[in-house]
């Protein structure tokens, strides 16, 4: 196990850290809310392009804020000392998530007769609203969301609470908070995202490299978006 740098010394009370986490959690949810304006929008006129660029710009601003807080709490750079071994670790973590998710979704189907998660169903509905929503969401989900969510749910949350040695508490907390940011209609669905968040946190904490968890998240979202695109465009 490779430990990350010690947490930045601070005199800030715990309540202020909780407020910061809540604010960042809300910030993660805001960019997709812009797509509510994309209903029936198209690229037949300038408004469709403006809405797409505004959506991506909102993501960019959120990523910049999250990165600044990540740097403050971790003292780390986003990209550092990447090796081919890290790619292997990312692929292994990705497979663990995919296998675990498959097993949990099978259990969900048996217990609740649901084949997908409410979160994926909601994403599918967003993508069907208009070509603008489809393009804007697919690009952001693959290339922007992994940076924003990893910086917040792993980079900040695993460094803002608990001592450096309390790795498992950090992993559990990251998984729980990450899952609350995704729609769930039953405990199994909640566990799907909790498992995903926990594995991503473990990837970051045990390698000490934030980019590793971003890479895993990129692989997950790339597969998910490919599957959803096939469904939506079928």
Asked if the structure places residue 2 within a domain, the reply is no
Which pLDDT does position 33 carry in this prediction? 79
Which pLDDT does position 155 carry in this prediction? 97
Which pLDDT does position 12 carry in this prediction? 80
List the structure tokens of 47. 């408004």
Asked if the structure places residue 222 within a domain, the reply is yes
Phi, psi of 181 (to 5 degrees): -85, 5
Number of domains making up the chain: 1
Asked if the structure places residue 206 within a domain, the reply is yes
Which pLDDT does position 11 carry in this prediction? 64
- SS3 (DSSP) at 117: coil
- C-alpha–C-alpha distance, residues 9 and 131, integer Å: 48
Which pLDDT does position 232 carry in this prediction? 82
Which pLDDT does position 64 carry in this prediction? 98
Q: Domain residues for 175?
A: 14-233
Asked if the structure places residue 100 within a domain, the reply is yes
What Å distances lie between residue 113 and 63, 107, 119, 190, CA to CA?
A: 37, 9, 16, 15
Asked if the structure places residue 4 within a domain, the reply is no
Which pLDDT does position 5 carry in this prediction? 46
Contact 231, 128 (CB under 8 A): no
What Å distances lie between residue 54 and 61, 117, 140, CA to CA?
A: 10, 28, 12
Considering only CA atoms, which of 13, 9, 233, 3 is closest in space to residue 128? 233
First to last CA, the chain: 45
- C-alpha–C-alpha distance, residues 70 and 51, integer Å: 28
Which pLDDT does position 40 carry in this prediction? 80
Which pLDDT does position 9 carry in this prediction? 44
Which pLDDT does position 82 carry in this prediction? 87
- C-alpha–C-alpha distance, residues 30 and 138, integer Å: 16
Instruction: Give residues with Cβ within 8 angstroms of 52, minimum separation 6.
Output: 132, 135, 136
pLDDT along the chain (234 residues), means of 10: 47 89 96 80 90 94 97 92 93 98 96 91 88 94 97 97 92 97 94 98 96 97 93 81
Asked if the structure places residue 45 within a domain, the reply is yes
Asked if the structure places residue 177 within a domain, the reply is yes
Which pLDDT does position 38 carry in this prediction? 80
This prediction has a pTM of 0.93
Asked if the structure places residue 200 within a domain, the reply is yes
């Amino acid at each position: 196990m490779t430990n990350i740098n010690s947490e930045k010394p601070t005199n800030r009370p715990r309540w202020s850290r909780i407020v910061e986490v809540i604010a960042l959690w809300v910030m993660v949810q805001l960019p997709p809310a812009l797509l509510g304006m994309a209903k029936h929008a198209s690229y037949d006129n300038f408004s469709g392009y403006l809405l797409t660029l505004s959506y991506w710009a909102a993501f960019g601003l959120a990523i910049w804020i999250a990165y600044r807080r990540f740097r403050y709490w971790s003292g780390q750079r986003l990209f550092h000392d990447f090796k081919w071994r890290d790619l292997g670790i990312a692929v292994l973590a990705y497979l663990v998530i995919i296998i675990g998710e498959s097993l949990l979704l099978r259990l969900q189907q048996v217990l609740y007769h649901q084949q997908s998660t409410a979160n994926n169903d909601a994403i599918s509905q967003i993508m069907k609203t208009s070509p603008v929503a489809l393009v804007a969401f697919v690009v952001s989900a693959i290339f922007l969301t992994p940076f924003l969510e990893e910086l917040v749910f792993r980079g900040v949350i695993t460094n803002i609470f608990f001592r450096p040695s309390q790795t498992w508490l950090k992993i559990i907390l990251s998984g729980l908070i990450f899952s609350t940011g995704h729609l769930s209609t039953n405990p199994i669905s909640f566990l799907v995202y909790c498992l995903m968040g926990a594995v991503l946190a473990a990837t970051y904490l045990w390698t000490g490299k934030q980019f590793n968890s971003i890479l895993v998240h990129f692989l997950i979202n790339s597969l998910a978006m490919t599957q959803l695109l096939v469904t939506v465009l079928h």
